[in-house]
Chains A and B, each alone.
Chain A
């Protein structure tokens, strides 16, 4: 069977036993509203933000009045920029919310000696300036400059105020946003644990408690199933030297396992590609996956990084970039296999990571294990008629056509325990030559 791959992800994820089908990830209370990406629709060259998607902006999170959201979406103006154009300038009045529909934008600050320093790269679906709408007097704290040709949508303060004056709901939302912003939190957005340190004398000590998230995320085990049919004549007669049923079963289970890995990567609900925090997603600096980008990934998952996961073609593209720079990263030994590595962290191939039509792909870096608050796989062992851990084969019966049926099921899921356990390098162009 050609479809059998080495399934590095399945092999390297630590599997945690879930009894009762549900796994709850308790976390400390976080005041930070998740920051998402915005999607757009386009008719010809005209681009419009999907009104509901505005809920991804922290300012509008939880606002579900479609009328208000549509009114806001209608007031966005489309603008085009050429590479090198300045979109917003440091120190100017910040009176716009900006959504990037397409293109890459450099965020630039002032360096220590008056020159420029790059603070980050923004790209498709990112937004900035939206929180400055709450304060009409705020100034831009950075310059943004187009790296590629960009299409952006701009909501001016004036248009925002117009909608604000018409909608009581939006005003309420704004109040709530301001109140939430005032809560004491640490750099990760978690409710602070008050401490006093380095004090002399007899000051009043802060009293504290650790607050938990009241609605923690729950993962239920997902299932991949099929019904395997074997004709009783085949099962009875053609069994020497190989057991027909067993071979049928072996291949079916292999296919199920392949599907399981595919789901762990791509499932919209629990798949790793869809569960990385927005702050943990970066874009390539130039296009191809370079050693510099891999270093950036390592800076995001810096607490005991476990392994990189990339499409084999992405690994080849990365190898080319290394060669171009004249570096030869040494490979590492993983369970007797030589795996390519970067900075001692192995890079495992995984054909399940999609390569888009325009030849772009993603690279994941993760920390694994329950104890280190990493990425874990979830399964349940000890299920009835277990064939392999968390895979069961149950005899269904023989029908009137003499077909013997088996129900083959695999149960699995995976969870990212804290956001900084997983980082993704997006839009790595793997077809760039020269």
Chain B
């Protein structure tokens, strides 16, 4: 018999650790850190696409896309990519490589410090500016003296291209660098030299000048002629609504993987949790996360890459301020929500606090989120933050009725597991591995350009 000595450390009864071996352990299903709230997937209205392709028909538009120019740099030397010069309106559609290279060679690289004036209002345009890096504020003369802000130029933007076609143009704004700016200047005189040597270029400009200005509204759409406020009996205009002849088509993109489970695991270890189901659950979670990532970042249909250039705004100072979000809000009707990285939301909150304001939070689907002017700011960690701590905020109107942003999913897929996601049994191989093909089909479309806006180059860590 064991003598019981109350003072000693020896146990007098069964240790709980030993007892545990007899008891059932309550257990969780496998936890995964990567699962996020996926607000974008929750908030996008999903439109069923039967047939794999979604065509967005629009009114005929005459506005030529005013694209950004790209640059290459070797060390400190910046050079414009020659074919990218065709983004300048007078050179649109021009594809003579040697001439464009000649033009690219004649660009002069300059650098200015923050606060320096680059061009002065009312001066003749002697050179075309291509901003390689930095931010430039445009300001014009206000109605009662003073100055009025006309917007920002940033990486890839250009100014003064109209001088290539008409050498008597004047600058309509003053451009001031707000950060250190590197830009390329193409002197109009140098351009004239190249033009004198190339008949193709001369023809291109001739064509540009003679291009008849078709009647269009402020969005560049072919005009629907109307008469209003008339007296008497004038001839009423007759009209028709023209459509774009080659509308954009979105085909559904896919995220796929082959999930393998050994038949021994599937057969034996399925109590209390079904092993295959748990493997599938986590794989599906990973696919859904990837789906959201693709909707934001895919270079073809991703929202960050499908923002119209006119809807791309720059921050005024650097951090995301209430002023910037106001600017972003005015660009469209019915903004349903902002989408920002959680760190951007924190930075925005800090800017609000600095100004002594506390925007009341909003409730979305039972969750409390930060809001600005009543529009919720939803967190999304798929929006990238660059190595130098800059990021973006998206703002969008959603829904097919409102001509907003919509998500696209197939109407029905065989072996559907969740909407737009199928799990198909592939077979069992010679190693007794059971394979399932897990596929998620998705895409997103912006129905009219003003449905989606982005605030770019937001600096965090200030």
* Chain B: minimal CB distance from A8 (Å): 17
Residues of A within 8 A of B370 (CB): 343-344
- Which residue of A18, A23, A28, A205 is within 8 Å of B33 (Cβ)? A28
A115 to B390, CA, bound (A): 12
Is A405 interfacial (CB 8 A cutoff)?
no
- Total count of chain B residues near the partner, CB < 8 A: 81
Q: A172: CB under 8 A from chain B? A: no
B349 within 8 A of A: yes
- A227 vs chain B, min Cβ distance (A): 15
**Interface residue? A274 (CB, 8 A):** no
B412 within 8 A of A: no
The stretch among A51-59, A232-240, A256-264, A290-298 that forms the contact with chain B is A290-298
Assuming the contacts A208-B258, A208-B260, asked whether A198 and B253 have C-beta atoms less than 8 A apart, the reply is yes
Residues of A within 8 Å of B28, CB to CB, are 23-26, 370, 417
Asked if A198 contacts B255 (CB within 8 A), the reply is yes
**A420 at the binding interface (Cβ < 8 Å):** yes
Nearest CB in chain A: distance from B24 CB, A: 4
Query: Is A193 an interface residue when CB atoms closer than 8 A count as contact?
Result: yes
Decide if B87 is an interface residue (CB 8 Å cutoff). no
Are A299 and B342 interface neighbours, CB within 8 A? Answer: yes
> A196 to B253, alpha carbons, bound, how many Å?
11
B294 touches A119 (CB 8 A): no
Of the listed stretches A63-71, A104-112, A124-132, A143-151, chain B binds A104-112
When the two chains form their complex, are residues A28 and B25 in contact, meaning their CB atoms are under 8 A apart?
A: no
In Å, the complex CA distance between A419 and B33 comes to 7
Is A164 an interface residue, CB under 8 A from the partner?
no
- How near does chain B come to A105, taking the closest CB pair, in angstroms? 15
Chain B residues, Cβ within 8 Å of A25 = 27-28, 31
Determine if A45 is an interface residue (Cβ-Cβ < 8 Å).
no
Nearest to A324 among chain B residues (CB) is B356
Are A21's CB and B32's CB within 8 A?
Answer: no
> Is A302 part of the contact surface with B, judged by Cβ < 8 Å?
yes
A434 lies within 8 A of chain B by Cβ: no
Does A210 touch B at the CB level, under 8 Å? yes
Q: How far is the CB of A286 from chain B (nearest CB, A)?
A: 13
In the assembly, what is the distance between CA of A219 and CA of B386, in Å?
39
Q: Are B388 and A299 in contact (CB under 8 A)?
A: no
Chain A nearest CB: distance from B83 CB in Å? 24
A17 near B: Cβ within 8 Å? Answer: yes
Q: Is B360's CB under 8 angstroms from A112's CB? A: no
List CB contacts (< 8 Å) of B324-380 with chain A.
Answer: 342-343, 345-347, 349-350, 352-354, 356-358, 360-361, 363, 367-370, 379
Chain B residues, CB < 8 A from A212 = 30
Cα distance, A139 to B457, chains bound together (Å): 27
Would you list which residues of chain B between 178 and 227 have a CB under 8 Å from chain A? 179-180
CA distance A190 to B30 in the complex (A): 12
Chain A residues in 8 Å Cβ range of B350: 291-292, 295
Within the complex, the shortest CB–CB distance from A30 to chain B, in Å, comes to 8
User: For window 277-310 of chain B, which residues contact chain A by CB distance below 8 Å?
Assistant: 278-279, 282-283, 286-287, 290-291, 293-294, 298, 300
Partner of A190 from the list B34, B134, B259, B379 (CB cut-off 8 Å) is: B34
Knowing A186-B34, A193-B257, A327-B353, the reply to whether A205 touches B437 (Cβ < 8 A) is yes
- The B interface is mostly helix, strand or loop, or mixed, namely mixed
Please give, as numbers and ranges, the residues of chain A lying within 8 Å of B291 by CB-CB distance. 197
Contact status A112-B435, CB under 8 Å: no
- Does A325 belong to the interface (CB within 8 Å)? yes
Query: B345 to A22, Cβ gap below 8 A?
Result: no
Partner of B286, one of A189, A195, A218, A220: A195
Q: Which residues of B contact A197 (CB under 8 A)?
A: 253-256, 290-291, 293-294
B344 — nearest CB in chain A belongs to which residue?
A299
Q: Is A243 an interface residue (CB 8 A)?
A: no
Residues of chain B within 8 A of A178, CB atoms compared: none
Distance of A325 Cα from B357 Cα, bound (Å): 9
Q: Beyond A329-B358, A418-B32, is A302–B257 a contact (Cβ under 8 Å)?
A: no
27 sample A-B contacts, Cβ–Cβ < 8 Å, listed by A number:
A22-B26, A23-B27, A111-B318, A111-B389, A111-B461, A117-B389, A118-B462, A188-B33, A193-B257, A195-B257, A195-B286, A196-B256, A197-B256, A197-B291, A198-B255, A198-B294, A198-B298, A198-B300, A209-B260, A291-B349, A299-B345, A303-B379, A327-B352, A343-B349, A345-B368, A373-B32, A373-B35
Instruction: Return the 3 tightest CB-CB contacts between A and B, nearest first.
Output: A344-B361, A326-B356, A344-B368
Interface residues in chain A, defined as those with a beta carbon under 8 Å from any beta carbon in chain B? 16-28, 30, 109-115, 117-119, 186-190, 193-199, 205-210, 212, 218, 220, 291-292, 295-296, 298-300, 302-304, 325-330, 332, 343-345, 370, 373, 417-420
- On B, residues with C-beta under 8 Å from A are 16-17, 19-20, 23-37, 114, 133-135, 179-180, 253-261, 278-279, 282-283, 286-287, 290-291, 293-294, 298, 300, 318, 342-343, 345-347, 349-350, 352-354, 356-358, 360-361, 363, 367-370, 379, 381, 386-390, 435, 437, 457, 459-462
Interface contacts beyond A190-B34, A199-B256: sample of 16 additional A-B pairs, CB < 8 Å, sorted by A = A27-B33, A112-B459, A117-B461, A195-B257, A197-B254, A197-B256, A197-B291, A199-B254, A205-B437, A207-B258, A208-B283, A210-B30, A220-B16, A298-B342, A344-B369, A373-B35
